[in-house]
């Protein structure tokens, strides 16, 4: 006897999604489907026909959770389309901003999973630890990129301005001082996740991982020819779910993949564990990697070096690719510029990659563990939503089937 | 209230001989910033610093007394200091920022502090906003034009400029040139015609030459922050003061000029409103005090 367990919307994540699990008599999940029900944003369409400089300004507003990766992927795509080689110091500043954002974003995720893992007596400790880390990490983004949430100073061709020597020293000192706090925080989170005693093998799947770089992102390692995109109708074997799903299904080598901290750790840091616990551990450990990268960059950044290249904004219609390793995984933006205007723009964002993998990852365990599996991916759906299946006749999706909170 | 809200008004000047020598009048802005930097009340100030082009200032972040003094003296053209505030907080990493601004810039700063759109964490970092009295301001090209064409003088020879006693003054190494102010009319920027603020009503401390004798400045302390810093500077002996009633010409002239500016501007505002033009002020019929800076 098969029964359906539906969680809608799934909680403690950004955006709205639904988890539909078919369970057997023991409550074990035999089939898991996870899909986005967040309304479509349409930002890519808004960008066509506009000046290339508009792209990062719009793209960063896809979502306030990871505006930094979207800004960086956007300028990287434009840099590529316009054949710009950015100065070394600009590249360092971009890497610094992303690393700081990683630390901040992973810390936010620890808020979201606190209710799962943190016992009452440690709650204040964990929350204070997250707040302290975020304060310094966001301060770095503020100073280097202009704004902590929608960075104004990450520009096509580099950065708007270098930072002053005074600011560099200040940030360097603060990041150094943050190190023991981050170490203690990581130990706390990793310890608490282990204490929970989740069943071994929870969330383990056999899908490949996809990542382009240890921390920043490298377009050379993203092969567009190996990428395909299909509509939810050809992916979900349930007509009703396929109709309601709001995201496309991206495949690499024809397979759904996992992106994110565990993928990066596995490919670049010799990490071999899999599953929910491994994802939490990889994410926490990545805070250390990101912080040490921030410290290294701040130690050597030349604050008198130029940070912006000259460029010709007209463009040759070359397809530019920006591949950025966001906190939740690979974020690819693609852009074509000709006659000084954006001709084509497309975003291929972290959670979209994970969506088809997350549902099946719940299979084989009791459905009560389903939400744990989902949260281990830190899904963020606003940007993942790219398509909406609308019946032009009765516009049924828009009218009735959006999530109501 | 044509002089705005204030706690106290005095005549004052810097006691530092070097500042007295290079300052426009009493050297109040320089003295306050140098003192505040020394005492770490601010960790930098956005000032109108020198550029490669003589008399054309550019917003500069001064973090030492030398940098403050390099910016001393009035330049009768724009220095968009407000634009630099965010950079001072971000790329320069300052946490207590001082700035000097003319009335219109102060309106921008205060509005920005009330609605910090795109300037997160900047509003609370402005520790000292010093305002300077301003009747009108000239685009750089205007300044060059009337100096070279009307006064017959190469701007590069000018060592100091001043406005006072109804004239525009230009001092060269060995001569003094003047131009009646009515000759400069038409060269000021258009926005000045609707400006209702002469004495920097929104500053923490505002200062200017009018009301006091040569070498002195009139100083209004307007906010708690401004009063604290100004009093501390007086106490520390870097600024000396006299009662405003003991000096000539005194507050009367200031009141007259402020009333004149407001009355003239209010007429232009009402005219523009009557034509349906957008003006960022209320018409005189829309407010209780027709001369209020709102």
Residues B144 and B37 in one domain: no
The answer to the question of residue B243 being in a domain is yes
Give pLDDT, residue A381: 82
The answer to the question of residue B97 being in a domain is yes
Interface size between A and B, measured as CB pairs under 8 A = 37
Residues B173 and B199 in one domain: no
Provide the number of structural domains found in chain B: 2
pLDDT category at A125 given cuts 50, 70, 90 is very high
B86 in A contact zone (CB under 8 Å): yes
Q: Which of B90, B124, B125 to mutate to test the interface with A (most CBs of A within 10 A)?
A: B90
Mean pLDDT calculated for residue range A39-57: 88
Contact B90 A143 (CB under 8 A): yes
Mean pLDDT calculated for residue range A83-97: 98
Residues B232 and B264 in one domain: yes
Rg (CA), chain B: 19
Q: Find the Cα–Cα–Cα–Cα dihedral A288, A291, A295, A301, rounded to 10°.
A: 140
Residues B200 and B162 in one domain: no
A52 secondary structure, DSSP code: T
The answer to the question of residue B266 being in a domain is yes
The answer to the question of residue B102 being in a domain is yes
pLDDT category at A384 given cuts 50, 70, 90 is low
Provide the number of structural domains found in chain A: 1
Residues B116 and B175 in one domain: no
Nearest to A147 among B61, B63, B118 (CB): B118
Which residue in chain A has the smallest CA separation from B118?
A: A147
| Minimal C-alpha gap between B286 and chain A (Å) | 38
Express each pLDDT in B48-69 by its tens digit.
Answer: 999 999 999 999 999 999 999 9
Residues B38 and B156 in one domain: no
Cα distance between residue A234 and residue A252, in whole Å: 16
Residue A395 has pLDDT above 90, yes or no: no
Look up the domain containing B144 and give its range.
138-187
**Which residues does chain A have within 8 Å of residue B86's beta carbon, measured at their own beta carbons?**
146
Residues B155 and B123 in one domain: no
Two tokens, residue A382:
């606003």
Residue A1 has pLDDT above 50, yes or no: yes
Express each pLDDT in A169-179 by its tens digit.
Answer: 999 999 999 99
Q: At B160, which helix (H) or strand (E)? A: strand B160-164
**Which residues does chain B have within 8 Å of residue A147's beta carbon, measured at their own beta carbons?**
118, 120
B residues 116-135 closer than 8 Å to A (CB): 118, 120-121
Give pLDDT, residue A399: 40
The answer to the question of residue B293 being in a domain is no
Cα distance between residue A369 and residue A49, in whole Å: 46
User: Are A300 and A88 spatial neighbours (Cβ–Cβ below 8 Å)?
Assistant: no
A147 in B contact zone (CB under 8 Å): yes
**Which residues does chain B have within 8 Å of residue A146's beta carbon, measured at their own beta carbons?**
86, 90
The answer to the question of residue B3 being in a domain is no
The answer to the question of residue A109 being in a domain is yes
Contact B93 A146 (CB under 8 A): no
More confident site: A267 or A232: A267
The order of strands in the sheet holding A341-348 is A316-326, A329-338, A341-348
Contact B93 A153 (CB under 8 A): no
The answer to the question of residue A114 being in a domain is yes
User: Percentage of residues in chain A with pLDDT exceeding 90?
Assistant: 83
Residues β-bridged to residue A344: A336
Tens-digit pLDDT profile for chain B (294 aa)?
Answer: 899 999 999 999 999 999 999 999 999 999 999 999 999 999 999 999 999 999 999 999 999 999 999 999 999 999 999 999 999 999 999 999 999 999 999 999 999 999 988 888 899 999 999 999 999 999 999 999 999 999 999 999 999 999 988 899 999 999 999 999 999 998 999 999 999 999 999 999 999 999 999 999 999 999 999 999 999 999 999 999 999 999 999 999 999 999 999 999 999 999 999 999 999 999 999 999 999 999
Helix (H, G, I), strand (E, B) or coil at A207: coil
B residues 28-67 closer than 8 Å to A (CB): 61, 63
**Which residues does chain B have within 8 Å of residue A306's beta carbon, measured at their own beta carbons?**
none
User: Percentage of residues in chain A with pLDDT exceeding 70?
Assistant: 93
The answer to the question of residue B66 being in a domain is yes
Helix (H, G, I), strand (E, B) or coil at A334: strand
The answer to the question of residue B1 being in a domain is no
A77 secondary structure, DSSP code: H
User: Are B279 and B269 spatial neighbours (Cβ–Cβ below 8 Å)?
Assistant: yes
More confident site: A233 or A386: A233
A225: Cβ contacts below 8 Å, ≥ 6 apart: none
The answer to the question of residue A176 being in a domain is yes
Residue A78 has pLDDT above 50, yes or no: yes
CATH classification at residue A53:
1.10.645.10
User: Are B74 and B164 spatial neighbours (Cβ–Cβ below 8 Å)?
Assistant: no
Residues B27 and B124 in one domain: yes
Look up the domain containing A77 and give its range.
3-400
Contact B91 A161 (CB under 8 A): yes
**Which residues does chain B have within 8 Å of residue A152's beta carbon, measured at their own beta carbons?**
118
The answer to the question of residue A166 being in a domain is yes
Contact B93 A142 (CB under 8 A): no
Residue A97 has pLDDT above 70, yes or no: yes
The answer to the question of residue A405 being in a domain is no
Residues B116 and B258 in one domain: yes
More confident site: B120 or A97: A97
Mean pLDDT calculated for residue range A287-306: 98
Cα distance between residue B138 and residue B191, in whole Å: 11
On whether ipTM exceeds 0.85, the answer is: no
By CB atoms closer than 10 A (0-12, 13-18, 19+), residue A55 is buried
pLDDT category at A403 given cuts 50, 70, 90 is very low
Residues B73 and B211 in one domain: yes
Contact A149 B90 (CB under 8 A): no
Q: Which residues of A204-231 are buried (b: 16+ CB within 10 A; e: fewer)?
A: bbeeebbbbbbbbbebeebeeeeeeeee
Residues B62 and B160 in one domain: no
């Amino acid at each position: 006897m098969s029964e359906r367990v539906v969680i809608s919307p799934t909680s403690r994540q950004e955006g709205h999604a639904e988890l539909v699990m078919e369970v057997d008599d023991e409550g074990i999940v035999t089939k898991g489907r996870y899909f986005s029900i967040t309304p479509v944003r349409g930002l890519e369409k808004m960008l066509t026909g506009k000046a290339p400089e508009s792209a990062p300004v719009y793209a960063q507003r896809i979502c306030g959770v990871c505006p930094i990766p979207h800004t960086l992927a956007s300028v990287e795509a434009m840099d590529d389309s316009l054949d710009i080689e950015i100065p070394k110091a600009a590249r360092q500043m971009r890497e610094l901003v992303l690393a700081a954002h990683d630390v901040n974003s992973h810390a936010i995720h620890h808020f979201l999973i606190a209710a799962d893992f943190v016992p009452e007596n440690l709650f204040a400790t964990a929350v204070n630890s997250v707040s302290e880390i975020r304060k310094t990490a966001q301060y770095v983004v503020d100073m280097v990129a202009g704004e902590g949430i929608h960075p104004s100073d990450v520009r096509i061709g580099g950065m708007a301005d270098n930072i002053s020597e005074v600011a560099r020293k200040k940030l360097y000192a603060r990041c150094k001082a943050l190190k023991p706090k981050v170490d203690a925080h990581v130990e706390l989170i990793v310890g608490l996740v282990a204490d929970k005693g989740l069943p071994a093998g929870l969330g383990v799947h056999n899908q490949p991982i996809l990542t382009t770089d240890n921390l920043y992102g490298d377009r050379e390692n993203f092969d567009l020819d190996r990428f395909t995109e299909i509509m939810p109708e050809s992916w979900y074997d349930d007509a009703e779910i396929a109709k309601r799903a709001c995201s496309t299904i991206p495949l690499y080598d024809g397979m759904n993949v996992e992106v994110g901290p565990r993928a990066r750790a596995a490919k670049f840091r010799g990490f071999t564990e899999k599953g929910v616990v491994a994802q939490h551990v990889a994410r926490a450990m990545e805070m250390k990697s990101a912080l040490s990268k921030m410290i290294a960059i701040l130690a050597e950044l030349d604050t008198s070096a130029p940070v912006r290249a000259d460029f010709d904004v007209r463009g040759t219609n070359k397809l530019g690719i920006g591949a950025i390793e966001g906190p939740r995984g690979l974020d690819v933006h693609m852009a074509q510029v000709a006659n000084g205007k954006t001709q084509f723009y497309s975003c291929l964002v972290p959670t979209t990659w994970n969506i088809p993998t997350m549902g099946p990852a719940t299979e084989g365990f009791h459905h009560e563990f389903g939400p744990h599996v989902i949260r281990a991916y830190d899904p963020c759906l606003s940007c993942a939503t790219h398509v909406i299946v609308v019946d032009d006749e009765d516009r049924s999706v828009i009218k009735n089937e959006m999530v109501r909170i | 209230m044509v002089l705005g809200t204030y706690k106290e008004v005095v005549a004052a000047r810097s006691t530092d001989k070097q500042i007295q020598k290079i300052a426009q009048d009493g050297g109040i802005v320089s003295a306050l910033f140098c003192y505040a930097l020394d005492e770490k009340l601010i960790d930098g100030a956005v000032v109108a610093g020198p550029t490669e082009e003589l008399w054309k200032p550019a917003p500069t972040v001064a973090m030492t007394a030398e940098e403050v003094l390099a910016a001393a003296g009035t330049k009768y053209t724009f220095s968009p200091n407000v634009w630099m505030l965010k950079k001072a907080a971000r790329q320069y990493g300052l946490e207590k920022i001082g700035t000097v601004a003319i009335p219109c810039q102060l309106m921008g700063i205060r509005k920005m502090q009330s609605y910090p759109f795109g300037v997160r964490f900047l509003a609370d970092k402005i520790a000292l906003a010093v305002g300077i009295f301003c009747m009108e301001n000239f685009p750089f090209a205007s300044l060059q034009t009337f100096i070279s064409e009307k006064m017959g003088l190469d701007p590069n020879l000018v060592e100091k400029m001043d406005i006072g006693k109804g004239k525009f003054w230009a001092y060269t190494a060995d001569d003094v040139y003047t131009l009646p102010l009515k000759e400069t009319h038409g060269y000021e920027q258009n926005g000045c015609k609707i400006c209702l603020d002469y004495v920097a009503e929104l500053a923490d401390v505002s200062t200017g030459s009018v009301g006091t004798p040569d070498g002195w400045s009139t100083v209004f302390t307007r906010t708690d922050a401004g009063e604290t810093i100004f009093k501390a500077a007086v106490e520390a002996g870097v600024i000396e003061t006299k009662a405003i009633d003991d000096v000539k010409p005194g507050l009367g002239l200031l009141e007259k000029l402020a009333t004149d500016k407001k009355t003239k501007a209010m007429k232009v505002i009402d005219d523009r409103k009557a034509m349906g033009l957008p003006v960022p002020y209320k018409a005189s019929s829309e407010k209780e005090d027709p001369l209020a800076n709102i």
